[in-house]
Amino acid sequence: MAKLVIEGKHKLSGAVNIHGAKNSALPVLAATLLAKGTSEIHNCPMLSDVAASVRILRHLGCNVTRSGDCVTVDSLGLNRSDIPDTLMREMRSSIVFLGAIAARTGEAHMSFPGGCELGTRPIDLHLSALRQLGMEILEEGGRLECSVKGRLRGTTIALAFPSVGATENIILASVTAEGTTSILNAAREPEIVDLCNYLNKCGARISGAGESAITIEGVDSLYGCSHSVIPDRIETVTYMAAAAITGSTLTLKNVNTGHIATVLPVFREAGCTIASSGGELKISAPNRLNRIHTIRTMPYPGFPTDAQAPVMAMMSVADGTSVFIENIFESRYKHAGELIRLGAKIKIEGRVAIVEGVKRLYGSEVVSTDLRGGAALVIAGLAAEGITEVTQIHHIDRGYEKIEENLRGIGAVIKRVD
Ligand code: UD1
């Protein structure tokens, strides 16, 4: 089993290039199914989740090639409508293919994605919305058997919660539906906007993306186009946390600071200086961070749940006590137990985590519990005295391209051991 071995206490300096956003690339790749022709997706990160999406597209009959950061998908040969269980298990967000496969082929067959390391993660909002569009969905023995008689029909769908995945599935299913679909209480994440920008370039008629009400006027068909994925805002925050915890100055390139507007004040409150212009962000951190008061994770534009773990790692060595309230996922503090093994003082009470900053962390062997939790342990390891070994790093590889190479490039002492 591969692991990351980190020698802590080295200052970081220099620049990191931020990759394309995983959470944008996945729905955009699913959307390429709808475009009858060839789409070129640029700035596509090299991640295991992207590789899983490519395997799904190939399984469905698409011709997919990769050259550098560009993935080219020709969906003309699409001839299947199922996703194998192994791919559904490998990547829970495979569920975002459901709307696209059913819209293109009139049916979709896959296993239920089930729970994951963040909790039960139901898909009731996805299924209820797709049924409102006219899809017949049978849930039997852990499988989803979906069929569409004729075309899906546009309607008004009010989401009980602004689920990112459900919003994406509705958009993918309704873009070629008959009539107009309105999504009320839609997710407003930048990745939703990116998906709609791609689809509109392919001939879709979507307005309101990035707002709570999205309107989709169904069109007969879509054609391929060239699109560049937005920068990954969570990767950006992760490298900012790496700079903060090590008291370093770093430049991050290819960022969109507008997408992290509610995260920047948290770093400033912690004592960091941040300057940005023209897609670059420079962060300088003090030798000891201040505590931050309370961080509440919220749907966008609130503080992102995906940034909670990396920011918790940096607060574990701040001067004072910080409080986190996790409002999105029921079980998103598994990394806290591992941070405690490195010497952090963290108490969890339901959705609340109380982090009492300590003067120093000590290297130890820790287990990556999930994608962002794993990144938090790497960040903690950069500041810990001695050697930290992070195992189960397949979680980290789902969302961070070349994390150890990037960190070595800015002065960290880190290696991957197989
Ligand atoms: C996406 C992101 C993930 C991020 C999350 C919240 C991708 C590939 N993943 O996940 O990184 O952490 O948004 O910003 O883009 N829920 C239901 N029923 C549903 C759907 C969701 O109860 O049908 C609940 C979930 O259990 C969770 C909350 O809603 O508690 C948010 O989930 P959702 O916004 O759907 O997240 P994902 O799309 O799964």
In this predicted model, which residue has the larger pLDDT, 156 or 120?
156
Find the mean pLDDT for residues 278-297: 97
Is the pLDDT assigned to residue 114 strictly greater than 70? no
Q: Is residue 90 very low, low, confident or very high in pLDDT (cuts 50, 70, 90)?
A: confident
- To the query of whether residue 116 is one of the catalytic residues in this protein, the response is yes
Segments making up each domain of the chain, as ranges = 3-16+242-417, 24-228
Query: Residues 196-221: pLDDT tens digits?
Result: 999 999 999 999 999 999 999 999 99
Closest protein CA for atom 5 of ligand 1: 164
Q: Is residue 188 very low, low, confident or very high in pLDDT (cuts 50, 70, 90)?
A: very high
Residue 241 to residue 311: CA distance in whole angstroms: 6
Cα(31) to ligand 1 centroid in Å equals 18
Find the mean pLDDT for residues 379-391: 98
Q: What is the mean pLDDT of the chain?
A: 96
Q: With contact defined as beta carbons under 8 Å apart, do 54 and 29 qualify?
A: yes
Find the mean pLDDT for residues 363-388: 97
Find the mean pLDDT for residues 162-179: 98
Report strand pairing: 156-158 vs 63-67.
unpaired
Is the pLDDT assigned to residue 119 strictly greater than 80? no
Find the mean pLDDT for residues 240-260: 98
Single-letter amino acid, residue 71: V
124 Cβ inside 6 Å of ligand 1: yes
**CATH number for the domain whose boundaries are 3-16+242-417:** 3.65.10.10
Is the pLDDT assigned to residue 55 strictly greater than 60? yes
CATH 2.60.120.890 holds for 24-228: no
| Structure confidence at residue 115 (pLDDT) | 54
Find the mean pLDDT for residues 8-24: 97
The closest-lying atom of ligand 1 relative to the alpha carbon of residue 93 is 8
163 Cβ inside 6 Å of ligand 1: yes
The closest-lying atom of ligand 1 relative to the alpha carbon of residue 329 is 30
Fold matches, 3-16+242-417 and 24-228: yes
Cα(1) to ligand 1 centroid in Å equals 29
Is the pLDDT assigned to residue 117 strictly greater than 80? no
Tokens standing for 376? Answer: 């938090």
In the block, which residue shows the tokens 């591992």?
338
